[in-house]
Chain A
Amino acid sequence: MDELNKTALIGVSGMKAQSERLRVVSENLANADSLPTSPSEQPYRRKVLTFRNVLDKQVGADVVKVAKVDVDRSQFQKKYDPKHPAADSDGYVMTPNVNPLIELMDMREAQRSYEANLNVVNVSKTMLSRTVDMLR
C-alpha cells in the first residue's frame, strides 16, 4: 500500500477514536444530573476511555484504537436535598462524580485532536492528487 494511503488510514483511525471519546464525553455531560431514585441506589458514574496503539496488519503501522471504556472510581459528590426521594437519613443525595468543566475541556481536546487528524488526511490526499496531476 502507498505510504500516503497508509497515512490517510491512520488519520482516519485517529478520527474514529476521537469521535468515540466525544461520545463518552456527551454521555458524561448528559448524565451529570442523573440521580438515584432511592437511597440504596447509586447515581451515574463517570466514564473514562483509554486509547491504545494497535498494529494494523492491513496498514502495516500502528493505528489508534479505543482500548477500554472504564468507569471513574472517584468518590460521588453529595448534595443536601432532604425532599429528594433518594435522600439518606441526613438529607443528603449522592450526585454523579461528573465535573462539567472537565467534560467541556475534554470535549475541546477531542475536537482539536479530531481536526488535527482530519488535517493529516486532507494533506495526504492533497499530496497524492497533486502527484497524480503531474501526469496531466
Chain B
Amino acid sequence: MAINSIADAISAYSNAAKSVGSGAKTEGSGAGGDIGTDFASMLKDGAQAAINSGKKSEEMSKQAITGKADIPDVVAAVSNAELTLQTVVAVRDKVVSAYNDILKMSF
C-alpha cells in the first residue's frame, strides 16, 4: 500500500511535468520511468519561452532607443519577460525540491 501511494505520487509529478511541458509525447506508464526526460523537456520548453519573451523585450527596448516603439509597449514586453522567467524559475525550484523530497524518502 505504501509503495503504491509513492508510485502514485511519482506518476502524479510525472503527469504534472507532462502537462506543463508541451514537448512531452509519451503517455505515463504509472512508475517514474519517463520523469527524467519529461522534466528535462519541461524545463527546456519553459526556458525557451523565457528566452523568447526576453528576446522580444530586448527587441522592443532596441526599437525604443531608436525611437520606433512606444514606451508602454516596451514596459509591457519587459514585464512579460520578467514574469515568464519568474514562472519558469519557480516551477523548476518546485519540481526540483519535490524530486529531492522523493530522493530523501527511506523505503
Contacts and interface: CB of A to CB of B under 8 A. Distances in A.
Contacts, number: 34
| Interface of B, helix, strand, loop or mixed by DSSP | helix
B83 A128 contact: yes
A5 to B, nearest CB: 7
Interface in B76-98: 76, 79-80, 83, 86-87, 90-91, 93-94
Category for how many chain B residues contact A: 10 to 19
> Which residue among B70, B76, B94 has the maximum number of chain A CB atoms within 10 Å of its CB?
B76
A10 to B, nearest CB: 10
A119 to B, nearest CB: 13
Interface of B: 70, 72-73, 75-76, 79-80, 83, 86-87, 90-91, 93-94
Interface of A: 5, 8-9, 12, 15-16, 19, 121, 125, 128-129, 132-133, 135-136
